[in-house]
A and B are shown apart, each in its own frame.
Chain A
């Protein structure tokens, strides 16, 4: 199974941008890159996903490297509600294999 590598934790200040990196060097050509976040005792929440091009939505932006071996989730202005564990996952034919994720803390 293709795997992703993320830093265990990151810290951000409120209202500042946050860049969450993810390495997926063994990605296959048809694997989508997904990002989800999870609050304690809740199911994961979809954030964004993409295949090759950069993507933007109301929650975040996803920057995908040209070789697709890494990607970065960008939260443009972090809020206290963005504090969560963020998972970068490869969609391999519908099967999502979760790594350990990055625990993001946001300081007021």
Chain B
């Protein structure tokens, strides 16, 4: 089945630094990938839609200059949390699907802790 690999699985960084999270589709091409954030005991919140070769589409309230998304190839999307602060600590999850009408595959998530 389709596999989405997400790295790193967990990262601790200092306040003010930037962190990059990678999301790869291993056995299929994904023109679109999605990035979610999940706080403890809450549901997933869609942050942005990553489109290969074009700018990402951000959901309302998500700062595009803080959460930089790059989708340079059909198998890789990256999310960079810039100038991270403790309130950015969360569980970040990516997903991808081959095309509409099929299921979507999620990465295993990245636990970000900003200290």
Contact = CB atoms under 8 A, between A and B. Distances in A.
Interface of A: 32, 34, 36, 41-46, 48-49, 51, 87, 91, 93-101
Given A36-B104, A43-B6, 8 more contacts: A32-B100, A34-B104, A36-B106, A45-B106, A46-B103, A91-B100, A91-B104, A98-B43
Contacts of B95: 43-44, 96
Interface string B96-115: 01001111111111010000
B46 A97 contact: yes
A32 B49 CA distance: 18
B77 interface: no
Contacts of B97: 94
A43 B91 CA distance: 9
A41 B34 CA distance: 18
A32 to B, nearest CB: 7
A45 B105 CA distance: 7
Contacts of B106: 36, 43-46
B103 A34 contact: yes
A93 B100 contact: yes
A49 B103 contact: yes
A94 B43 contact: no
B20 to A, nearest CB: 18
Nearest to A91: B100
25 contacts: A32-B100, A32-B101, A36-B106, A41-B109, A42-B109, A43-B6, A43-B106, A43-B108, A44-B95, A46-B103, A46-B104, A49-B103, A51-B101, A91-B100, A91-B104, A93-B100, A94-B100, A96-B34, A96-B46, A96-B104, A98-B36, A98-B44, A98-B45, A98-B46, A100-B43
Contacts of A98: 36, 43-46
Contacts, number: 58
Contact of B32 (A32, A51, A94): A94
Nearest to A35: B103
Contacts of B46: 95-98
